[in-house]
Amino acid sequence: MTKLNSGGISRRGLLGAFAASAVVAAPTYSNAAGFLRGAGDIRRLRMYSGRTGERIDMIYWIEGHYLADAIKEVNYFMRDWRTNDVKKIDTRTLDIMAAAHNLMDVTEPYMLISGYRSPKTNAMLRSRSRGVAKNSRHLKGQAADLRLSSRSVGQMARAASACAGGGVGRYSKSNFVHMDCGPVRTWGR
């Protein structure tokens, strides 16, 4: 099992830097989108992939700044595991995932079902299922299909919908929720 971390920067070091800066300047939320309520001044992602055995538990944003090394690792983690193709994942999707996770008040990591999908993978999945969109946001690195064993599909979908940051699809039969940074919309049961 591979454990990814953010390029030599320790969590303790990041938290120390945050604590020091918090004393100097009180945090402001004037530039934060409404859907990020619950994401906080530190944004963190916890995920694992049953396909690759990899896990991430990392802070990817502090006080208005995305951490480039962390984002790079997330991009790799959310790659198309079938082809190993990597695509830049839209940070708006990461923010929705982090905010929804915080709203559910869980420490359990998301299980990543699907992140980026290459055109080849998307075409193969479309040939097997009517539920795969031809122009899926997965192709653009703007979507994630996620599962939590401690929360129902309904609970996850409600948390993601409360963020009002994009699309939320319920896939109850397959036990996962789709989150993307496209237009605000919902579907499924």
CATH code of residue 77: 3.30.1380.10
Is a pLDDT exceeding 60 seen at residue 38?
no
**Mean pLDDT, rounded, of the chain:** 83
Instruction: Determine, yes or no, domain membership for 144.
Output: yes
Which backbone phi and psi does 154 adopt, to 5 degrees? -60, -45
Number of domains in the chain: 1
Q: What percent of the chain has pLDDT over 90?
A: 67
Supply the pTM of this predicted model: 0.78
In which domain, by residue range, is 132 found?
A: 11-188
**Is residue 112 in some structural domain?**
yes
On the question of pLDDT at 24 being above 80, the answer is no
Residue 6 in domain: no
Residues 29-53 have a mean pLDDT of: 70
Report phi then psi at 187, rounded to 5: -160, 165
Residue type, position 55, single letter? R
| Domain annotation covers residue 175 | yes
> In which residue are the tokens 């599909």 written?
153
Task: Give Cα 2 distance to the centre of its chain.
Answer: 19
Minimum mean pLDDT range among 14-28, 138-152, 159-173: 14-28
Tell me whether residue 131 is in a domain.
yes
Q: In this structure, is residue 35 part of a structural domain? A: yes
Structural domain includes residue 5 = no
Please give the average per-residue pLDDT across 39-43, as a whole number.
76
Rounded CA separation 154/148 (Å):
11
* pLDDT digits 0-9 by tens, 75-89: 999 999 999 999 999
Q: Evaluate whether residue 1 is within a structural domain.
A: no
